[in-house]
Amino acid sequence: MDLDLSPQDLAFRDEVRGWLAGALTPAFRDLAARTSGVFSEPPHVLDWQRVLDDQGWLVPHWPAEVGGLGWAPLQRFLFDQELARAGAPVLPGMGLKLVGPVLYTFGTAEQKARWLPPLRRGTEFWAQGFSEPGSGSDLASLRTRAVRQANGDYVVNGQKIWTTMAQHATHMFALVRTDPNVKPQRGISFLLIDMAQPGVTVRPILSASGDHEVNEVFLDNVHVPAANLVGDEGQGWTIAKFLLENERGGSTYGPALVADAARLRAAFDALPCAGDPLLRDRLARTQIQAMALELTELRIVAAMTAGDDPGPISLATKLVASEIRQDIELFGTEMLGLDGLALPNTGPERTAAARYLNSRAWSVFGGTSEIQLGIIARAALAL
C-alpha cells in the first residue's frame, strides 16, 4: 500500500489550505474554539456552511447531479484533514450527512428539488427524530404513531428524545410507526416533519455542562402531508439502516483528533506541569493513538481507492474515536488543575470542563460503544 501523496494530491491539499487561510476568518475560528459539543451551533455555523457552498465545497460527497463533486476518497480525506488542521467549525451533520443522502437515494425527483437546495443553503435546518424514551439501541421498538388519513396525509402522535439542535430546526426527519400489526421493522416509515406547526413542542434537555444541545420533541396530532413520506410506507427501517451506516461509517475521525491532540499538546507545553514525565507520557500515548486512527482511516481510503472492500476495520473507527476523544478531553481538564473544572464557557481555555463533560456522549450517540462492539463481533468474528 502506497501512502505517499501524488503531486496532484499535494496540489489539491495546497489549494484547500490556501483557500482556508483566507476564508476561515478569526470569527469562524473563534466559533469552533468555543464549541464544546460535537457541532458548532446555528445561526453562525450556517454562515460557514454558506461560505463552503459558495466555494462549491460543501457537499463533495454528494453525487454530481445534486451538487456533489465526485471527489475521490483521498480528496475527501485531505479536505477533512485541512478543515481540522485549520480549526474550522464542524457543520451539523443531520442535514448534510444524514437526510441529504437519504433524499438523493430514496427521494422522488420532486422531493430532491424541494428539499435539497434549502438544506445546502442552510435556509432550512434539520433535526434527527429517531430515538424515543425506551427506544434508543432498540430502535425498532419505537412507538411514535402515524395514522394515514383518507387523503393520504398523516397525523402523528408520540415523543422523540435526545434530538440534537431541534431548537434550531425548521424540519425533523423521523421514524414513525405506520403499521403496528406487522413485524416491528416492517411497520416503520420515514417522514419529513415541519417543526413550525401546532402540535410540535420542543423542550430543552441541558447537558451536565449546562449546554443546550439536545431536546425532547413532543408530537401531538401533527399533520404531515403525503408528499413528505420518503420511500414507500413500511420502508423506513431500510432507510434508517442506510442512514445509520452513513452516520457511523461515513465519517473520518482521525484528522480532527490529531489536530485537537496537537492543540492540546501546544497548550500543555506552555503549562508549569509540562515537565512532568507521567503526564507527557500520557499525552504522547493519546497523540499516537490519534495518529494511528488517522493512518487506519487512510488505509480504508486506500482500499476504497483500489476498489477493495476495507472489511470490518471500518466498523471500528467510531468506537476507537470515541475513546480517544474522551482521553483528549479528560487530559484537557486534568492538566489545568482546578481551572479545568471551570464552567460556564467564557473562552477557549474555559471550555475544557464543558468539552470533557460533553465528550462522555461520544460513546452513546450514533449507537453506543457496546452496540458497536456487538456489530464488530458479528462482522469480524462471525459470531
How many residues of this chain bind ligand FAD (CB under 6 A)? 18
> Own/partner pairs for 350-355, CB < 8 Å, 24+ apart?
351/33, 351/34, 351/35, 351/36, 353/209, 354/36, 354/209, 354/210, 354/211, 355/36, 355/329
Residue from 55, 137, 197, 346 in contact with ligand FAD (CB under 6 A) = 137
| Contact map string, positions 43 to 82, toward ligand FAD, x by CB under 6 A | ----------------------------------------
Q: Which lies closer to ligand FAD via its Cβ, residue 160 or residue 350?
A: 160
| Alpha-carbon separation of residue 265 from 34, 194, 340 (angstroms) | 18, 45, 15
Distance CA 11, CA 233 (A): 47
Are the C-beta atoms of residues 189 and 235 closer than 8 Å to each other? yes
With 0-12 CB in 10 A as exposed, 13-18 as middle and 19+ as buried, what is 144? buried
Shortest distance, CB of residue 202 to ligand FAD, whole angstroms?
12
Binding of residue 374 to ligand FAD (CB under 6 A): yes
Which of these is catalytic: 41, 213, 247, 294? 247
Residue from 159, 164, 209, 359 in contact with ligand FAD (CB under 6 A) = 164
Distance CA 358, CA 37 (A): 6
Q: Could you tell me which residues come within 8 angstroms of residue 335 by beta carbon, excluding any fewer than 6 positions away?
A: 264, 267, 268, 271, 273, 279, 283
Shortest distance, CB of residue 232 to ligand FAD, whole angstroms?
22
Q: Which lies closer to ligand FAD via its Cβ, residue 118 or residue 374?
A: 374
Shortest distance, CB of residue 139 to ligand FAD, whole angstroms?
7
| Contact map string, positions 85 to 124, toward ligand FAD, x by CB under 6 A | ----------------------------------------
Q: Which lies closer to ligand FAD via its Cβ, residue 34 or residue 160?
A: 160
Residue from 79, 130, 237, 253 in contact with ligand FAD (CB under 6 A) = 130
Active site residue 132: no
What is the helix (H) or strand (E) element at residue 161, kind and residue range? strand 154-161
Q: Which lies closer to ligand FAD via its Cβ, residue 74 or residue 354?
A: 354
Binding of residue 370 to ligand FAD (CB under 6 A): yes
Report H helices in 35-108.
44-55, 73-86, 93, 100-106
Q: Which of residues 178-217 bind ligand FAD (CB under 6 A)?
A: 214
Distance CA 338, CA 330 (A): 13
Residues near ligand FAD (CB under 6 A) are 128-131, 136-137, 162-164, 214, 361, 364-365, 367-368, 370-371, 374
